[in-house]
Every structure is written in structure tokens, then in C-alpha cells.
Amino acid sequence: MHRPAPATAPRTRLARVLACAAVPVMLVAVGCSSDSGGDEKKKDSGSSSSAATPSGKQSSSPSVAPAKYAKLPDPCKALAEKTIDDLVPKAKSKSGTAGKSTDVASQGTCSWNGLEDKGVKGSQYRWLDVSFKRYGSDAAIGSGDQRAAKEYARLLAATKATDGAKNVKATPVSGIGDEATAVSYDLHKTDEDFKYAVIVARTANAVVVLDYNGAGYQGADAPDAGDLMKDAQGAAKEAVASVVTANGAKQ
């Protein structure tokens, strides 16, 4: 005789449904449905990851100090006429000879030369050259001061390594810009012995190089190296000061 199935199973399923309905939604999702629980865990995991991710704001570019000097002086007017008269007697052109430059705001040079005839005592030849370089600030490559400092070091090394130079001496000098070095050496050329006094200096984002040299012709003695260097330092200080004046700053 066939007996009906016990009513226990339906009642049990109903009890479970009612029990789940009484539990908070989050617990239902986790404890009452194993299939949906896996999906929810994945969603929760994804949202947590998103929350931990930065908002996507890009960090601002590193800033550099603005360049102190925005322009350079006219190289041929950087030194006073009296300075030219004293250092280069009988100069061919007291106004100087300007070097070619495609950007006078960033670099420029000027030179003077002359031969003073002293009769039976021979002749004295002098050459004076002043050059300027200015560097702007750039976040990608550094501040104007940093760039000028690198050029200062490069030019100083190049001066000390002048081809054919003998008795090279380099001495730091104070009172000329932010940093300066005096370089002296001897160089034989055009069958004469030349004495050189070179000042490499930096003032903020500008580099100044003053080259003063000379020789004795027709039996004249070579110029005194000490006097030559003293004059070169005085002229270099004047050239550096011209950079400050060109930018409207006080000494």
C-alpha cells in the first residue's frame, strides 16, 4: 500500500526560507545563497581596490628658483673707457670688436688689442677679451644658477687645459661675483712668449670670462705676470658689476 511522503521536507524548506527572510540582507547574501555569495565577494573585493587607488591627481612638476638676471650688458660697453686706455694702450679701436651672437640676451663677447711702440725699448702688445653667458631656469634641467655653475666649471677646466700652456696656476679669488678663479699661464706663439691672466667668474645665473694677455716685441721684456693679473682682476670685477647694472640691480 502506497504511503504519502512525509511532509517534513517541505516544512523544512519553508522554515529555511522564513529564517533567511528574518536575517539582515548582507547575511542573507553570504549565508543563504552560496552562488550569490561568490559574486558578492568579487564585487566587494573590486570596490575595495578602487577605494585604495589614488584619485588620479598628477603630482605637480618640481619647481626651480627663477633666474636672477634676465639680460646681459653690451659686451663692448661693459668696461669703462679708462679701463681700456689703461689695459690696452694704443688700442686699434677703443669701442672694441664685438663677437657674433645669434642671441645677445644669452651670450656676447668683445675684444680690444693694440701695439704700443716704445722706440728703442721695443713694443708692448696687449689683448683684452670679455665674454658673457646667461642661463635661464628650466624645471627639466635645473635653475639658472645651477646651469651657470656647470658652465663655470667647464670653462675653468678648459682654461687650465689650454693647449701649449705652461706654468699654469689657478687660484680662487674673492670679491668677484659668487665665485671666481684666476688662471695664469705662459704660451709661446707668433715667435713670442705671451703672459696670460684669465678670470673665470660667476654671478648668479651669468658666467663672465675676462682674458688679458700680452707680449714684448722687438726686444721688449714680457709683461710682468703679477701686474697683468692685478689689472685682469680689476677689469673682471667691473665686467661682473656691469651684469648687475644691466638688470637694474644695485651694487
Task: Give the DSSP H or E segment for 10.
Answer: helix 8-22
Residues of the chain with CATH 3.40.1000: 75-246
pLDDT in tens, 193-207: 999 999 999 999 999
Half-sphere exposure for 75 (CA within 13 Å, toward CB)? 27
DSSP codes of every residue in 73-87: --GGGSS-HHHHHHH
> Across the beta sheet with 166-172, what order do the strands follow?
97-98, 107-117, 123-134, 206-217, 192-203, 179-189, 166-172
Arithmetic mean of pLDDT over the chain: 83
Instruction: Tell me the fold of 75-246.
Output: Protein Transport Mog1p; Chain A (3.40.1000)
Q: Look at residue 5 and give its three-state secondary structure.
A: coil
pLDDT in tens, 15-61: 443 344 444 443 333 344 344 444 444 444 443 444 444 444 454 55
pLDDT at 195: 98
Q: Which residues in the chain come in under a pLDDT of 50?
A: 1-57, 59
pLDDT at 120: 87
